[in-house]
C-alpha cells in the first residue's frame, strides 16, 4: 500500500496534507535523492498547469530539490506530455508535472517521469515513500542546486508535436473548435493548429487560476459540441486541464470518445503498415464494441488495469505502439512516452484531411455496447470481503457472454466504481443498480 501515491501520482486538495509546503518540500527532497545517481550535475524539469496553487507547489518542490543538490529547470504552464518530452530532450534525471488533470482548481497533484519520460512504477513510488520515513540528508552550501527558467519550452514542444505528421500535410480546409479547458494547452494548442493552416475557433483560453475545467474542456464537452454546430466547424477538440487527453465532436456536434479514436488510428496505421504487434492496449474500461470491431479487422485488444501508466508499461513490455483509455488518454509510442491530447488530435485531423470525408463518417467506426458507470461512496476495503464475489458472479451470469462487469476501488477517492456493459441499456442499468444496493447493504451489515 502507498500512503501518498495513487493511480496517477499524488493528488489532493491544495494546502491540505499531503499538498502542504512542508510535506511538498520533503517530497522534493525524497524524490530528488532517489534520482541522484552518479557524480554528474543532476537536473529536474518542472512544468505545471494553470491552477492558482501551482505557484505554491512549484516553489515548495523546487526548494526540496535544490536543498539536496539538484538543479531545477522551470518550464511554466505546458501540457503534461511536454514535460515528459523535455525530460528526455534535456537529458534530465527527472520530470515533474504539477496538475490535478481534470479535477477542479482547488485540487492539485504531482506526476513524475523518469529520465526516459515514462511515469514511475508502483515499486519506485513505494521506494520514494520509504525514504520519507527516515532522515533526508541535505547538501552543504557549495553544493546547493540552481534554478533557471527554460525560455524556449513552448517552441520546443510546438516543433516536436508538428513533427509527428508528414510535412506536406496542411489543415487549410478545416475549421476546428478547440476547447483548452483554461488549462495548460491554452497557448500551444491554438498555436500548433494555426501554424498547420487550420481555422481555429478557440474556447476556454483565458485561465485566471480558478477557472480550469470549470464547465469546459474534456470533462464538460457540451460547450465544444454546441460551438461546433453554432459556427459550422468540421470538427471539435476538447482537452482536459493538463492536455494529456482529448475528446472530439463531429460536424453534427456528436461527442466522440477515446475508444473510437483508438479504433480510427489503429485501423489507419494497420492499413499503412505502421501498427506494431497487430494490436493495441486499452484498459478494462474500454467498450466491448471496440474489442469486437478490432477482432473484425484482425487486430487484437490487450487490456490493463485503469491508468495510462499501466497502458504504457504494457506497450513497452510487449512492443505495441498504440494504447490508451476511453477517456481520451492515448499513447502513440512512436512519438511520445505519455498520453498526448494534441499529438492525438493531429493524427485524427490528418486522417480527416486525407480522406476528405465528413467527421461523422470517419470518427464513428463501431456501435458501442450500452455501458453504465456508477460511483458508490463506500470504503474500497469492502471489496476484500468474501461475500462480495457472490454478488458479482450473479451479475455476470445475468449479463451473459455479451456483457462485462468491472468493479474496482477508486485510486484517488473513497469510492467503489461499478461498470457494466450489456446487450440492452435497461438490463445493464438494472444490474449496476442491484450491485450498488447490495454493496451498500453489505457495508451497513459490517458496520452493525
Q: Which of the residues are catalytic? A: 101
Give the position of cell 508535436.
161
Residue whose C-alpha cell reads 480558478 in the numeric block: 210
Closest CA to 145 of 76, 21, 46: 46
For 315, the 3-state DSSP assignment is helix
Starting at the edge strand found earlier in the chain, the sheet holding 199-203 runs: 199-203, 175-179, 235-239, 246-249, 255-256
Q: In which residue are the cell numbers 478490432 written?
A: 294
Of 264, 266, 278, nearest to 319 by C-alpha is 278
Locus of grid cell 534554478: 147
Measured CA to CA, the distance from residue 109 to residue 100 in angstroms comes to 5
Distance, CA of 301 to CA of 292 (rounded, Å)? 9
287 close to 373: Cβ distance less than 8 angstroms: no
Contact (Cβ atoms closer than 8 angstroms) between residue 202 and residue 187: no
Q: Are 39 and 114 in contact (CB under 8 A)?
A: no
Rounded (10°) CA dihedral 421, 423, 429, 434 = -80
Amino acid at each position: 500500500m502507498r500512503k501518498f501515491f495513487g493511480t496517477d501520482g499524488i493528488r489532493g486538495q491544495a494546502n491540505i496534507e499531503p499538498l502542504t509546503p512542508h510535506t511538498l518540500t520533503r517530497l522534493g527532497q525524497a524524490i530528488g535523492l532517489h534520482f541522484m545517481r552518479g557524480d554528474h550535475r543532476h537536473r529536474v524539469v518542472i512544468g505545471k498547469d494553470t491552477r492558482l496553487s501551482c505557484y505554491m507547489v512549484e516553489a515548495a518542490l523546487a526548494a526540496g530539490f535544490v536543498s539536496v543538490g539538484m538543479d531545477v529547470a522551470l518550464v511554466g504552464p505546458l501540457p503534461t506530455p511536454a514535460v515528459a518530452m523535455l525530460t528526455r530532450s534535456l537529458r534530465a534525471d527527472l520530470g515533474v508535472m504539477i496538475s490535478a488533470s481534470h479535477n477542479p482548481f482547488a485540487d492539485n497533484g504531482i506526476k513524475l517521469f523518469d529520465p526516459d519520460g515514462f511515469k514511475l512504477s508502483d515499486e519506485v513510488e513505494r521506494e520514494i515513500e520509504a525514504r520519507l520515513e527516515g532522515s533526508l540528508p541535505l547538501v552543504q552550501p557549495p553544493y546547493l542546486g540552481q534554478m533557471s527558467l527554460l525560455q524556449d519550452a513552448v517552441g520546443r514542444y510546438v516543433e516536436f508535436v508538428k513533427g509527428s505528421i508528414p510535412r506536406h500535410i496542411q489543415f487549410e480546409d478545416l475549421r476546428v473548435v478547440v476547447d483548452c479547458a483554461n488549462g495548460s494547452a491554452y497557448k500551444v494548442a491554438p498555436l500548433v493548429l494555426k501554424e498547420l493552416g487550420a481555422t481555429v475557433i478557440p474556447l476556454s483560453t483565458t485561465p485566471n487560476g480558478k477557472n480550469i475545467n470549470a464547465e469546459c474542456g474534456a470533462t464538460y464537452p457540451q460547450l465544444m459540441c454546441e460551438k461546433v454546430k453554432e459556427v459550422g466547424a468540421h470538427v471539435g477538440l476538447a482537452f482536459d486541464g493538463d492536455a494529456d487527453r482529448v475528446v472530439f465532436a463531429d460536424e453534427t456536434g456528436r461527442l466522440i470518445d477515446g475508444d473510437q479514436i483508438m479504433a480510427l488510428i489503429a485501423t489507419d496505421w494497420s492499413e499503412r503498415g505502421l501498427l506494431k504487434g497487430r494490436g493495441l492496449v486499452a484498459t478494462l474500461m474500454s467498450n466491448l464494441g471496440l474489442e469486437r470491431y478490432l477482432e473484425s479487422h484482425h487486430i487484437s485488444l490487450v487490456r490493463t488495469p485503469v491508468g495510462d501508466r499501466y497502458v504504457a508499461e504494457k506497450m513497452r513490455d510487449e512492443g505495441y505502439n498504440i494504447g490508451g483509455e476511453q477517456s481520451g488518454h492515448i499513447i502513440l509510442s512512436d512519438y511520445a512516452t505519455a498520453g498526448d491530447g494534441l499529438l492525438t488530435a493531429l493524427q485524427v485531423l490528418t486522417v480527416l484531411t486525407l480522406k476528405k470525408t465528413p467527421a461523422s463518417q470517419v470518427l464513428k467506426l463501431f456501435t458501442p455496447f450500452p455501458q453504465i458507470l456508477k460511483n458508490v461512496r463506500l470504503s474500497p476495503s469492502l471489496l476484500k470481503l468474501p461475500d462480495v464475489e457472490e454478488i458479482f458472479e450473479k451479475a455476470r451470469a445475468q449479463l451473459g457472454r455479451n456483457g462485462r462487469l468491472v468493479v474496482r476501488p477508486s485510486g484517488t477517492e473513497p469510492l467503489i466504481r461499478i461498470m457494466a456493459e450489456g446487450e440492452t441499456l435497461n438490463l445493464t442499468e438494472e444490474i449496476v443498480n442491484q450491485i450498488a444496493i447490495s454493496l451498500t447493504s453489505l457495508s451497513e451489515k459490517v458496520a452493525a
